[in-house]
Amino acid sequence: MKNFTYLLLLVLFFTACKKGDIKPIATIACIDTLQHDIVSVNGVTKSLINQEISFNVSWRATNNCDKFVNFKQDTSNNTIAIKAYASHDSCTVCAINTNALKAATYKFKAAKAGTYYLKFYKVGTTPNDLPITDTLLVE
């Protein structure tokens, strides 16, 4: 009877373990989306209501594999805080060039007239990392 109990437990143990139940212990996510420093902005200073305008933005890449993803903006009255995000592949070996600048285009359209303050941010918090502020008059 004792051997039968052990055999039954052994059969139950093996039938409970299916190949599909095995999961990897850890997965490595290679692609991260990170905020990057905006280092320069060029664009117009005047616009019309509902006219889409473009700003040429230069952002600092971590390495040559970084790819621009999008801008995220937070609006408070007529002040728009703009941050640049790019994908970073930590599993690929890329040439590291901390001075590499890449370009992106930020588009803006105001629905009402007024003075708008577009603040383009860097990642850091030191006094050298203050945002670049462009003033835009919309008529």
Residue appearing with tokens 């999008």: 70
- Confidence (pTM): 0.73
Q: What is the total count of domains within the chain?
A: 1
Nearest to 66 by CA among 87, 85, 90: 87
Give residue-wise pLDDT tens across range 119-138: 999 987 777 788 999 999 99
**In the prediction, which pLDDT does 22 show?**
46
Give residue-wise pLDDT tens across range 95-120: 666 668 999 999 999 999 999 999 99
Q: Is residue 65 part of a domain?
A: yes
The number of residues in the chain equals 139
Instruction: Considering only residues 68 and 18, tell me which one the structure prediction assigns the higher pLDDT.
Output: 68
Tell me what the mean pLDDT of segment 15-39 comes to: 65
User: For residues 30 and 89, is the Cβ–Cβ distance under 8 A?
Assistant: yes
Q: What is the mean pLDDT of the chain?
A: 82
The range of the structural domain enclosing residue 66 comes to 31-138
**In the prediction, which pLDDT does 28 show?**
53
Reduced to 3 states (helix: H, G, I; strand: E, B; else coil), residue 128 is helix
Tell me what the mean pLDDT of segment 68-83 comes to: 95
> Of 11-25, 47-61, 113-127, which gets the smallest average pLDDT?
11-25
Q: Is residue 8 part of a domain?
A: no
Q: Is residue 96 part of a domain?
A: yes
Q: Is residue 81 part of a domain?
A: yes
**In the prediction, which pLDDT does 106 show?**
97
Tell me what the mean pLDDT of segment 88-92 comes to: 75
**In the prediction, which pLDDT does 52 show?**
96
Q: Is residue 5 part of a domain?
A: no
Which residues, 6 or more positions from 42, have their beta carbon under 8 angstroms from its beta carbon?
55, 56
Residue appearing with tokens 């039968």: 4
**In the prediction, which pLDDT does 9 show?**
56
